[in-house]
Amino acid sequence: MKGFDLAAILGNAEYMAMLAHGIQITFVIAICSWLLAMSLALVLLAIRFSPGRIGNSAVAAYVSYHRNVPTLVQLMLWYFGIYTLLPSGIADWLSAHSAEMVFAIIGLGLCQAAYFSEDLRSGLRSISPGQMEAARALGHGYISAMRYVLIPQGVRNALPALVNHSVSLFKNSSLAIVIGAPELSHAVKEIENLSFRTFEIYLIGTVLYLVFSLIIMAAGAWLTWRADPLNGASR
Amino acid sequence: MIHDMIAIIDEYWLLLLIGQYPNGPLGGLANTLILSALSIVIAFPFAILLAFARLSSYRALRWPVTVLVYVTRGVPLLMLVLWSYFLVPLLTGADVPSFLTMLATLVVYQGAFLSEIIRAGIVALGQGQMDAARALGHSWFGAMRYVILPQALYNMIPSMLSTFVATIKDTTLGYVINVPDLTFAASQVNNQLLTQPFQVFLILALTYYVICWSLTALTNVVERRITRRRAGLGPRRRGEIALPLTPKVTEQL
């Protein structure tokens, strides 16, 4: 066992390049799947709030599946399972364009969409029906009442949960190691294999994850504070 | 497709259920459930202590636990699994089975989450309960033991059940350090078959779904009961309309 020496990692240009690449991939996965999750969540929410039994139960089934199956298993099903079912043209194109990242983004995004849509839904549901009635009585149309009265309040109520789930999305990007995406924890493992300085590199990886998560949490807390009308939100 | 899946279950159900048990370590679904149940049982008293420490008026107690809670909230479980895989053998000096390594990880991780739940439960009861108990002559511990905890823990049963569901889902990460659980068994099956990965992993996903879905459904029933009892109503009579519920707490973070 060698003595504790952070400089052996931090001073090594090759290791630092690997770490930087890992961080970059982690952010690509996290940001792309966040965008996918949020846009899909809005679609799911629209279906949930529109009349029609079939759409409603389809969304409920979607949410139930993604909340009750471990994210890791979902990723494995995508990468080891669905990937092999694709027509060979698409599969070849994917394997030439880092398929593991594509599937990490799809898997994490679809999974998190279920959580986001539930957050938004419970945020909107927590507003009393009187708000809609009052807005309509004041002459707003349905869309305009949604846009100016219900959605601002609903999103504000949903913000803490959305922030928490964004942090878990960021943390879950580490699961992509299982399907071989070269993200941060993958880089940490590789540097460990090359340098044998397990303690140092794990410490660096942990601190990096912690710092990024805390930044997201702080940004979320600031957003939540800003969104409160008492603190000078725009509307 | 369905026929393939039935054939796989027909041939490998024992492996998926208990792993290679009589001839090897216990694995499969049985191991997943044992691992999650054990980690919750061990994490629970630990979490109560952590919650006390976070509520304590001594900084020396409060700060380390706050740091621990923030670290477990901010670092992926995968990173903690790697840490224990490295540290547990180093600290104990023995060749520790991966099952115990995963157990240690989950105890720390879920302990931190549970402690937040318990702390929230204690805070939600309000200071009045503690003041009243102290005024009646209870010591701090007596008040906790006989007045605060019985109420707080009872109200927290739904959140704890959902922590259990989360733990079952978290045990899949043992895959990274080769804990012989359900996910591991499924990937073994996949390695033997090689030709039907989609079917194998779909069976895996559906198995987890059935278990976690039924536990979540149970959580909802329990939660509804507790809400009724807290509102001072008895068990629901036949034909009575259900109470409108406050937003559900069916998942952590």
Question: What is the band of B251 on the pLDDT scale with cuts at 50, 70, 90?
Answer: very low
CA pair distance A104, B205, nearest whole angstrom: 17
A173 DSSP 8-state letter: G
CATH superfamily of B42-174+202-230: MetI-like (1.10.3720.10)
Question: What is the band of B80 on the pLDDT scale with cuts at 50, 70, 90?
Answer: very high
Specify which residues B19 forms β-bridges with.
B26
Task: Spell out the domain ranges in chain B.
Answer: 42-174+202-230
Torsion of CA B156, B162, B167, B170, to 10 degrees: -140
Classify residue B225 as exposed, middle or buried by CB count within 10 Å of its CB (0-12, 13-18, 19+). Answer: middle
- CB-CB under 8 Å, B198 with A76: no
CA pair distance B51, B122, nearest whole angstrom: 9
pLDDT along chain A (235 residues), means of 10: 76 90 96 96 90 91 95 94 87 86 95 95 88 91 88 89 94 93 93 90 95 95 86 57
- CB-CB under 8 Å, A217 with B205: no
B244 DSSP 8-state letter: P
Q: Which residues of A fall within a CB distance of 8 Å from B193?
A: none
Question: What is the band of B252 on the pLDDT scale with cuts at 50, 70, 90?
Answer: very low
pLDDT digits (tens, 9 = 90+) for B179-192: 998 999 999 899 98
- Yes or no: say if A77 and B205 are a contact pair by the CB < 8 Å rule: yes
> ipTM of the predicted structure?
0.88
Q: Is A60 helix (H, G, I), strand (E, B) or coil?
A: helix
Handedness of CA B28, B32, B38, B42 (dihedral sign): positive
Residue B215 has pLDDT above 70, yes or no: yes
- CB-CB under 8 Å, B247 with A122: yes
Q: Which residues of B fall within a CB distance of 8 Å from A191?
A: none
Q: Name the residue with higher pLDDT: B252 or B200.
A: B200
Predicted local confidence at residue A9, as pLDDT: 81
| CATH 1.10.3720.10 for domain A7-229 | yes
Q: Name the residue with higher pLDDT: A224 or B247.
A: A224
Task: Spell out the domain ranges in chain A.
Answer: 7-229
A229 DSSP 8-state letter: G
Specify which residues B26 forms β-bridges with.
B19
pLDDT digits (tens, 9 = 90+) for B133-179: 999 999 999 999 999 999 988 888 888 888 999 999 999 999 999 99
Predicted local confidence at residue B240, as pLDDT: 63
